[in-house]
């Protein structure tokens, strides 16, 4: 029941966070008298948020299994320090970005988007971390359980240790999938749902990363793509319904409804096939 609820909660939560983030960007930066100067002022704050959020969840939820069980106070302090370091790095990188000199860019939005292009580096890294923390686990979970059963002589244990080579196999599989078929999903999420710019992409990826890392910390196996689609929808809604491609959204929603029974049906088919073959 908890897993089923997460299918709805994760995209809604990501969409809500993305909606709020992009609205704050609109208010603080794009509606300012000098958007480029406002971007220079506020972007380090957003970079700090990226470093703080990912570090805080990792320290409080993700390191207990390696023997590092920090208290909340220590985790909070280290997360603030990590956020400040990341913000300092982002501030150093954004100094190299110059204001737009194009005549067609009367409001300076082009320079603002270049500043957010720097920020996208950090949110993309956060999203990659979140993707590995959840989707690799989804993939290798059944394999780890099978290996545990084989090693214990048929006994089913409540928890199973995952060999290092299984993690490498799962990570390598994601890389190969990204190289071969990932470009199709990139095109759908990046351009099919709504038009994305660096500022909009920042809101979407940060919201999705925070949602996925939180889910990973609580042990919920959610879909990273599922969550990111919800975040992109949140950004699109912040711009108005006309900014969304409803036909693509309908196709995505239909695929979500089809994949669950299709996966269950194929699992049943393979189970009885192998049972018949091997007894």
1-11 pLDDT, tens digit each? 666 777 778 88
- Which among 165, 164, 132, 138 is positioned nearest to 66, based on CA atoms? 164
The region of weakest confidence among 23-37, 71-85, 173-187, 212-226 is 212-226
Res 105 pLDDT > 60: no
Residues 246-268 have pLDDT tens digits of 888 888 888 878 888 888 899 89
Rounded to the nearest angstrom, the gap between the alpha carbon of residue 58 and the centroid of all alpha carbons in its chain is: 14
The region of weakest confidence among 137-151, 195-209, 222-236, 264-278 is 137-151
Res 197 pLDDT > 80: yes
| pLDDT of res. 81 | 93
Share of the chain above pLDDT 90, in %: 3
Question: Hey, what are 11's tokens?
Answer: 């995209």
What does the mean pLDDT of the chain come to?
79
Share of the chain above pLDDT 70, in %: 85
Res 76 pLDDT > 90: no
Mean pLDDT of 231-255: 84
Q: What is the pTM of this model?
A: 0.74
Quote the CA–CA distance of 249 and 240 in Å, as a whole number.
15
Residues 15-37 have pLDDT tens digits of 898 899 889 988 888 888 888 88
Rounded to the nearest angstrom, the gap between the alpha carbon of residue 42 and the centroid of all alpha carbons in its chain is: 22
Per-residue confidence band for 64, with pLDDT thresholds at 50, 70 and 90: low
Residues 149-163 have pLDDT tens digits of 777 776 666 666 677
Query: Who has greater pLDDT, 20 or 188?
Result: 20
Report residue 92: phi and psi, to 5°. Answer: -65, -40
**H-state helical runs in 95-223:** 109-151, 164-180, 182-187, 198-218
The answer to whether 207 touches 231, Cβ cutoff 8 Å, is yes
Domain boundaries, the chain: 2-244
Residues 139-148 have pLDDT tens digits of 787 787 778 7
Per-residue confidence band for 269, with pLDDT thresholds at 50, 70 and 90: very high
Quote the CA–CA distance of 253 and 44 in Å, as a whole number.
36
Per-residue confidence band for 60, with pLDDT thresholds at 50, 70 and 90: low
Residues 77-103 have pLDDT tens digits of 888 998 899 888 877 877 777 665 554
Quote the CA–CA distance of 80 and 86 in Å, as a whole number.
10
């Amino acid at each position: 029941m908890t897993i089923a609820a997460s299918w709805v909660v994760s995209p809604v939560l990501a969409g809500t966070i993305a909606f709020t983030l992009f609205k704050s960007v609109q208010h603080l930066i794009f509606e300012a008298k000098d958007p480029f100067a406002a971007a220079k002022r506020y972007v380090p704050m957003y970079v700090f948020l990226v470093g703080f959020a990912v570090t805080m969840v990792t320290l409080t939820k993700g390191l207990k299994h390696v023997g590092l069980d920090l208290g909340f106070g220590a985790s909070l302090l280290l997360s603030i320090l990590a956020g400040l370091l990341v913000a300092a790095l982002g501030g150093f990188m954004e100094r190299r970005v110059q204001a737009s000199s194009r005549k067609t860019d009367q409001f300076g939005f082009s320079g603002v988007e270049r500043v957010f292009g720097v920020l996208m580096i950090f949110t993309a890294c956060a999203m990659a971390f979140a993707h590995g923390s959840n989707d690799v686990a989804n993939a290798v979970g059944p394999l780890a359980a099978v290996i545990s059963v084989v090693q214990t002589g048929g006994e089913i244990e409540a928890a199973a240790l995952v060999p290092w080579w299984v993690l490498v196999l799962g990570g390598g599989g994601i890389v190969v999938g990204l190289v071969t078929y990932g470009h199709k999903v990139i095109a759908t999420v990046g351009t099919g749902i709504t038009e994305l710019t660096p500022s909009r992409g920042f809101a979407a990826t940060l919201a999705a990363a925070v949602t996925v890392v939180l889910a990973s910390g609580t042990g919920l196996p959610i879909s990273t793509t599922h969550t990111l689609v919800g975040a992109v929808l949140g950004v699109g809604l912040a711009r108005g319904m006309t900014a969304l491609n409803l036909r693509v959204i309908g196709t995505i929603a239909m695929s979500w409804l089809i994949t669950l029974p299709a996966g269950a049906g194929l699992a049943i088919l393979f189970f009885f096939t192998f049972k018949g073959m091997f007894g």
